[in-house]
Amino acid sequence: MTPIRACLFDKDGTLFDFHATWSAAIGDTLRALAEGNAARLQAMAEAIDYDLSARRVRPGSIAVAGTNVDVAACLAPHLDGWAIADIVTFFMDRVDLAPLAEAVPLGPFLDDLASRGLALGVMTNDNEQGARSQLSSAGVLERFDFICGADSGYGAKPSPEPLVAFADVVGVPPHQVVMVGDSRHDLQAGAAAGMYSVGVLTGLAGREELAPHAHAILPDIGHLGEWISKMEGPVTGH
């Protein structure tokens, strides 16, 4: 038996329901950047695959798995005079104010995992400061042993490097870690790091997209404890 000894979570779409938290906030931010210019608003929405009429991020959007810099780079051609760093700051300041919709009540969920002796971490392609702020707002910051963003010095998913950094920090070999996320980038990073990869359906990707890259697909993170209890044996193919 190879017990799982650590869990590493993506943030947006995993710990927090993506649409309920971010979709409206991203649309409001695009409108603020457009400053009443309808053509600019439409162009920016198309650049990041945002559906203005539905007020929803589309599954293929760079906002799903890309970094804040990636999003800003897509918007920059439509914002004369704006530096990418300034767009990142504007975007973060606005979007980070969005009310957080927890995928499940996070406090009890994380306490249950910790009671099993599991080390816990977050690896997001968001900035580390934004992640810490949001986790603090949700009252769960101190429950994590490791919090990493795309700007923390280890790179961004789908690179396995930040995932391996988590394993090193908590002293658990990668084959005893599960990476939990809502996008292909999360699951591909987990596989590349030699970890279990578990997909959840609280983001934008559907089961069909995630299943080829995952050891399991769960409706949400609330089912993770039961899955861990059933797991045995080394990491194998999907």
Domain extents in the chain: 6-17+102-230, 19-95
Average pLDDT over residues 135-153: 96
Strands of the sheet with 6-9, listed across from one edge:
146-148, 119-123, 6-9, 177-181, 196-200, 216-218
Mean pLDDT of 75-85: 96
Lookup: tokens for 32? 């603020």
The confidence band for 2, taking pLDDT boundaries of 50, 70 and 90, is low
CATH architecture of the domain covering 6-17+102-230: 3-Layer(aba) Sandwich (3.40)
- pLDDT, greater one: 77 or 93: 77
Q: How confident is the model at residue 32 (pLDDT cuts 50, 70, 90)?
A: very high
Q: Which helix (H) or strand (E) holds 16?
A: none
Tell me the residue type at 67.
Answer: T
Nearest alpha carbon to residue 165 among 119, 131, 132? 119
Got the DSSP string for 55-109? TEE-TT-HHHHS-HHHHHHHHGGGSTT--HHHHHHHHHHHHTTSPP-BSS-HHHH
Task: With beta carbons less than 8 A apart as the criterion, state whether 145 and 170 touch.
Answer: yes
Contacts of range 81-89, beta carbons closer than 8 Å, 24 or more positions apart: 87/33, 88/127
CB 192 within 8 A of CB 158: yes
Q: What is the pTM of this model?
A: 0.85
pLDDT given at position 237:
54
